[in-house]
Homo-oligomer: A and B are copies of this chain.
């Protein structure tokens, strides 16, 4: 509570007035140079920059923020999990935010936290951010927050309405559809689906994509299998499935669940992909090196993060302009060794790729 941050002892921290004095200009000119404003002579600019460097001057963001209202940072609300998917997305968000010239604040909302998104956004707003990214993939109840900055919903539908709301998709629906279609194309009569944790939007999206693919082909929709993203839950589902000889194809909503599923199936004596094909979801490269190498779909986190942050920054910097439409991210199916035609099928053979 009672904190004291010691200034470096001996020499005081230089302020803009010190730079101005050393450069022989006014403080306002220093400000202009540091903010890349026009109407500064080359000469003044050079002198100011030299003086700032000599003094080791560091602009005081707090002061700048106080007067300008601009913080130069964007806050992200994420789920504190270290899974390949969520971690990749965060990495790409950080990069996109930094490339756009903003700093990043991160607040995680551990699953089960009662404060949830609202509390996280609130804390971000209090700290000061020019925009908020909600990458929190969990369905919450009513979220009511008063936000006066633009909000980007990444991979989830808007959970609340802000002054300016933008959304960007990671394409879960289309990817789930592609994964299911791949299995159908191979000749499977239908495809079972091992879904992810119940409250995630991603789970819902993937179920819908799977359903749509089935419906489009007139395939029967088998009962849903429920997992929680973990390999252990995939394993549990696999044990149930192993005894059902009618199952020939499963689309798992996550790579790790697919791995657990395959493990259980093989333990039970079912061959993959000869008897049962399995497709994962995520695209973690390590699963190209297990047996069988996992067929999966890759989530375009890079594209999604870049596009989403682009839209957000646009909304921040040009409050009056229209937000350009978001384009759908690419669909990438990675066919490896865990999928093949069904046992009875005489058709085309599976493609093996890395």
Contact = CB atoms under 8 A, between A and B. Distances in A.
Given A3-B317, A80-B94, A146 B56 contact: yes
Given A231-B286, A232-B285, A288-B231, A148 B98 contact: no
A69 interface: yes
A312 to B, nearest CB: 12
Contacts of A232: 285, 289
B61 A126 contact: yes
Contacts of A66: 60, 62-63, 66
Given A106-B106, A123-B103, A231-B286, A82 B72 contact: no
Given A87-B87, A104-B107, A146-B56, A72 B6 contact: no
A241 to B, nearest CB: 15
A8 to B, nearest CB: 4
B103 A104 contact: no
A128 interface: yes
Interface stretch (A220-228, A243-251, A258-266, A340-348): A258-266
Main secondary structure of the interface of A (DSSP, over half): mixed
Contacts of A95: 80, 108, 110
A158 interface: no
A14 B59 CA distance: 27
B289 A260 contact: yes
Interface in A49-105: 56, 58-63, 65-66, 69-73, 80-84, 87-88, 90-91, 94-95, 98, 103-105
A294 to B, nearest CB: 10
A319 B69 contact: no
B70 A5 contact: yes
A5 B130 contact: yes
B13 A148 contact: yes
Size category of the binding interface on chain A:
35 or more
A276 interface: no
Contacts of A163: 6, 8
A216 interface: no
A46 interface: no
Interface in A23-63: 36, 56, 58-63
B3 A130 contact: yes
A124 B104 CA distance: 10
A91 B103 contact: no
CB-based closest 5 A-B pairs? A87-B87, A62-B65, A8-B148, A82-B88, A263-B289
Interface of A: 1-8, 13, 36, 56, 58-63, 65-66, 69-73, 80-84, 87-88, 90-91, 94-95, 98, 103-108, 110, 122-128, 130, 146, 148-149, 163, 230-232, 234-235, 256, 259-260, 262-263, 266, 285-286, 288-291, 316-317, 319
Given A4-B319, A56-B146, 18 more contacts: A4-B70, A4-B317, A6-B319, A7-B69, A58-B126, A61-B128, A62-B62, A62-B128, A87-B87, A90-B90, A98-B107, A98-B108, A103-B123, A104-B107, A230-B285, A231-B286, A232-B289, A256-B286
